[in-house]
Structure 1
């Protein structure tokens, strides 16, 4: 594998321990129009486990009986990852999750004034009582539970801290900071995690949405502030603009911050491709790290440099994330790449012939964009008629 050449000015977070609990099978499936089959869910769970994901949120049992059956099947696979399920602070939801064999129940309840008034139609006192009852029921059923404050980032700060202290006192093993609308900045997440970490001794988790494109930045900020667990989804899929992308979070921690959290980053491209196909969602060519264009080069100046040293235009090698390098031919192709290709093909050409081949590639590229290998071979045969390809 080629060397890594990221910025030397990046701060290091060596020794930081972070649990990734991936929600591709739950929040990811809440992407409008997406419904994984049970077989696809099992396959994704196996791939996540194979990549070293620590915890897998397998679903929301309250959705349907079929959902319960699928979660139960995933729970019985014997994976190394812990299997989690989402639950409202309701006994029926908790029972469904426990009966599906999960290792932890993820309780959530709205805490912002907007949610209390228009969604929950409950007072703060009622929400605290409901949370205590739910945690008591989890203890009675013998399953640990985390508690997340839905819409954390728009919740009154003093009530939020009261909610966290109350949850810990009633047995929560983890409390969650949830940016439900993705409307908080890294500074806000830093402050909230720092404050929560001072209020409770149990780990603080993050569930962050990407409405303003800040999910990954917020996750990193939260980890720096002391968050011990982060929700991700493959390709960042999920409600509205989605969530923290697993591949971006794990790879950024490893290569930008010097922290290996045990995720096999070389499995990211395969995971990304499978989830993309199973979900039916389009993946942009320029999707960070796992898109086909991320390690693709066409500009003659760039390609010439890449041929000498890939680190000139790649901070990490494509193999680090299971991707591949592509040299694209088109209107920006340079003669140095043409000469390199001819040498690979063991085709002898004069400088003038190489320049003419390059001119024709550019001309064709201007008309259609990308020039294929077959079209390149045809151009070579036209310029050097004695060539047998």
Structure 2
């Protein structure tokens, strides 16, 4: 048994089956290229027989990726028409796989094989399933020498019959045997027992694979239990996307195997530094945002707000971090200042911003920080200038003020925005026009043009403050300029105007806050701590 685990990514197939996560062909191609850069071993590109669009996507991905890229796989039920469609979609590919499956649990057999042609008894129906397994694999081998077989709902399948199906599939020529927990029913111990049973039936040549769903929140735990029990392929998705509650997430499984190599004793070939990029792309393509507290790729995964954590991580990041942000392609945001932060986090950030605070003023500065933190979710660098020295900003002119805004939308042309900005320092009025992917994007492009300097939009949130058609809407944005972050908020019955004013407020915060040295966010946590 090899100690290397094959990563089989099914974001484009099982992931797309998440309700509301349908992807365009262009989006699928972008994800396929990112998966290739990530170094996954197998990409399950789709289920060709299910629709012409699925078949086209598989064909396009086969054409787009080269011979040195991952194996391209197509899914097929153990039915002749399915396998023919999969073979046709994969035609011309140098490294291809057909993944065929059939239901094996009693509950699935009762629901799917009740027709008289499958037999009148459970025993007869199981014999039909074994015959269909042999026939499907034989047909798949006409298109490729790489065939994977899955026993659907293996998690609830009788162990004796599971062994019969597995041995039949191996004898027929399948080289990878997938033992899926299709319904997310298994626990780690029961899932491991399935692999122990399957190994005795599959023999030493077949590769056993995991495929776990997260209905009980155990997909990653079960996947890792499968690896411990001998699985050497894991079927996963970016961000844990998938049917119902989703699949085991590639980022969590990959980093668990790497960080806890002492526990699992296996390796893999993923370039984990691209995990963050892959996560962000899938979130954009599907419209499914990643939760801030999502392990490995969430925006808070490497951030610290609690005072005791900040103190520890400033001394040694290993006190509260078991992997580095750079290992997964994330920004080392490190210290996030909020109501749970303590003195060490606050004054460390002030030092990095070059804001000197006399010993006699520290208590007052900290009290102002605590008072503001009780009213805001997060304290940004612009806030810290005012906290450290309230007099520095009280009389300063507002850098930018929105004088007018016009937005035009159409079903045939991109949205267009025209803005007029009042420049506080000179009294000049600047007019700028821009188009964008949407009206808000057009507004922000025009504002950047009028201000003469683009900024990065970190987050954009809108919500209704009141009910009915004339509801007040609130726009909340966070923008960045290198390491600096600033927040803006505005309310209006016109949500586009609120969006513009919130963006300007955030921009004004950045323009009043120009750190002269250091790059706290990009350089990471340890750069913010200078030992005595």
The match for 2:275 among 248, 253, 268 is 268
CA contact (8 A) 1:338 1:354 kept: no
CA contact (8 A) 1:164 1:196 kept: yes
Structure 1 spans left out of the alignment, 5+ residues = 1-13
TM-score by length of structure 2 reads 0.68
Q: Corresponding residue for 2:19? A: 32
Cα distance in 2 between the residues matched to 1:160 and 1:105: 21
Q: Corresponding residue for 1:135? A: 137
Cα distance in 2 between the residues matched to 1:96 and 1:133: 16
The match for 2:243 among 229, 234, 239 is 239
Q: Corresponding residue for 1:54? A: 41
Q: Decide which structure has the larger Cα Rg and report it.
A: 2
Task: Please report how far the alpha carbon of residue 378 of structure 1 lies from its aligned counterpart in structure 2 after TM superposition.
Answer: 2.2
Task: Please report how far the alpha carbon of residue 340 of structure 1 lies from its aligned counterpart in structure 2 after TM superposition.
Answer: 2.0
Partner-residue secondary structure (3-state), 1:149 = strand
Q: Deviations along 1:230-265, whole A, 9 cap, x unmatched?
A: 100001110011111000001110111254301111
**Which moved further from structure 2: 283-292 or 357-366?**
357-366
Cα distance in 1 between the residues matched to 2:154 and 2:180: 5
Q: Corresponding residue for 2:232? A: 228
Partner-residue secondary structure (3-state), 1:100 = helix
The match for 1:333 among 317, 338, 341 is 341
Q: Corresponding residue for 1:20? A: 7
| 1:369 and 2:361 aligned | no
* Aligned-residue RMSD, C-alpha: 2.0
Task: Please report how far the alpha carbon of residue 80 of structure 1 lies from its aligned counterpart in structure 2 after TM superposition.
Answer: 1.5
Q: Corresponding residue for 1:3? A: none
Pairing 1:210-229 to 2, within 5 Å after superposition: 210-229=214-233
Q: Deviations along 1:49-79, whole A, 9 cap, x unmatched?
A: 1011010000100121121111111112215
After the TM superposition, which segments of 4 or more aligned residues of structure 1 sit over 4 Å from their partners? 383-389
Q: Corresponding residue for 1:306? A: 313
Q: Corresponding residue for 1:184? A: 186
Q: Corresponding residue for 2:199? A: 197
CA contact (8 A) 1:329 1:361 kept: no
The match for 1:84 among 73, 94, 110 is 73
Higher helix share: 1
Cα distance in 2 between the residues matched to 1:180 and 1:330: 42
Partner-residue secondary structure (3-state), 1:367 = coil
| 1:117 and 2:110 aligned | yes
Task: Please report how far the alpha carbon of residue 15 of structure 1 lies from its aligned counterpart in structure 2 after TM superposition.
Answer: 6.6
Shift in alpha-carbon separation, 1:348–1:155, aligned structure 2, 3 A: closer
CA contact (8 A) 2:5 2:267 kept: no
Cα distance in 2 between the residues matched to 1:243 and 1:148: 16
Higher strand share: 2
Cα distance in 2 between the residues matched to 1:168 and 1:193: 15
Structure 2 spans left out of the alignment, 5+ residues = 119-124, 397-511, 514-532
